[in-house]
């Protein structure tokens, strides 16, 4: 595994669990608002953390941490994601995967092997806008397939969208709600311009106006869904 970062203790990344968060290096998307350019742009890659070091840490924290989140970058690009996940699972941890949904066959394999407890999948935009919002095209079929695999699974899951004022509208969220119709959980977050690291420099300093924040809160209230 190419591990570019590790948060040893998080209360916010895995619903209901105290978790460690593992950040993998490498992504096949180029979302302009990405807050982890050092995991996405090879020019900004930071030094890798040895996998053994991470496994050793997890081994020592058994009983103190309840879960492990594998995020990125895009974890499903890692060739040894399945054996690594099995290793973590065998230590007794609940495992959460964060994914952009581009590799449904990997998601399916992880589900088939019973290594996952929770999946969070980004729905970047309606398919016609993927290029604007995620910097890629031609992933519609894969993303559709991933949505269906996740909805049909017995796992806890959430779909989530980062709302970027100026680039997205309420209609986009209506379309996304249709794409994931019947899903158990849908979360919306506003693009956070305050983060130091953003993949596309042009977005830096582009803070949403008070009016845009208000509009977002209305959209969030209307379209978010939680386990019921
Ligand atoms: S936000 Fe986009 S570019 Fe950044 S890691 Fe996630 S999918 Fe990749």
- pLDDT confidence of 198, banded at 50, 70, 90? confident
Whether 73 lines ligand 1, by a CB cut-off of 6 Å, is: yes
Tens of pLDDT along 99-140? 999 999 999 999 999 999 999 999 999 999 999 999 999 999
- Ligand 1 contact via 164 beta carbon (within 6 Å): no
Closest CA to 158 of 57, 69, 32: 69
Do β-strands 3-10 and 186-190 pair in parallel, antiparallel, or remain unpaired?
unpaired
Atom 4 of ligand 1: nearest residue by CA position? 34
- pTM, two decimals, is 0.95
pLDDT at 28: 97
Going by alpha carbons, the residue nearest to atom 2 of ligand 1 is: 31
Domain boundaries, the chain: 3-223
Does any ligand 1 atom lie closer than 6 A to the CB of residue 31?
yes
Q: At what angle do helices 51-60 and 81-90 cross, to 10 degrees?
A: 20
Class of domain 3-223 (CATH, top level): alpha beta
Q: Whose CA is nearest to atom 1 of ligand 1?
A: 34
pLDDT in tens, 75-87: 999 999 999 999 9
179 by Cβ neighbours in 10 Å (0-12 / 13-18 / 19+) ranks as middle
The structure tokens 């989140």 sit at 69
pLDDT band at 227 (very low <50, low <70, confident <90, very high): low
Cα separation, 203 vs 190, whole angstroms? 13
Q: Report the distance separating Cα 98 and Cα 34, nearest Å.
A: 14
Q: Is the CB of 30 under 6 A from ligand 1?
A: yes
Element (H, E) at 198: none
pLDDT number for residue 206? 72
Q: Which residue has the CA at smallest separation from atom 5 of ligand 1? A: 73
Residue 120 beta carbon below 6 angstroms from any ligand 1 atom: no
83, 122 Cβ separation under 8 angstroms: no
What DSSP line would sit under 101-138, residue for residue? S--HHHHHHHHHTT--SEEEEE--S-GGGHHHHHS--S
Nearest to 21, CA basis, from 65, 68, 75, 53 = 68
Which pLDDT score is estimated for 194? Answer: 64
CB-ligand 1 contact for 76 (6 Å cutoff): no
Tokens (6 digits) for 1:
């595994």
Q: How far is the CA of 60 from the centre of ligand 1 (A)?
A: 30
Asked whether residue 164 carries a pLDDT value surpassing 60, the answer given is yes
pLDDT tens profile 17-28: 999 999 999 999
């Amino acid at each position: 595994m190419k591990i570019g970062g590790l948060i040893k203790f998080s209360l916010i990344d895995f619903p209901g669990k105290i978790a460690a968060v593992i950040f993998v290096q490498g992504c096949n998307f180029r979302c302009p608002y990405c807050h982890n350019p050092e995991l996405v742009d090879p020019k900004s890659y930071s030094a890798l953390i040895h996998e053994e070091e991470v496994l050793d840490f997890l081994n020592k924290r058994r009983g103190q941490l309840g879960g492990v989140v594998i995020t990125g970058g895009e974890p499903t690009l890692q060739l040894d994601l399945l054996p690594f996940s099995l290793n973590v699972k065998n230590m007794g941890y609940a495992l959460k995967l964060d994914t952009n949904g581009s590799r449904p066959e990997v998601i399916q394999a992880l589900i088939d092997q019973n290594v996952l407890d929770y999946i969070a999948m980004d729905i970047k935009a309606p398919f016609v806008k993927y290029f604007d919002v995620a910097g890629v095209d031609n992933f519609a079929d894969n993303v559709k397939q991933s949505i269906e695999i996740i909805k049909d699974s017995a796992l806890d899951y959430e779909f989530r969208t980062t709302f970027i004022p100026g680039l997205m509208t309420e209609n986009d969220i209506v379309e996304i709600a249709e794409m994931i119709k019947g899903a158990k959980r849908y979360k919306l977050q506003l693009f956070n311009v305050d983060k130091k690291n953003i993949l596309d420099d042009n977005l830096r300093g582009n803070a949403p106006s008070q009016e845009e924040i208000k509009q977002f809160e209305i959209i969030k209230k209307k379209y978010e869904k939680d386990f019921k």
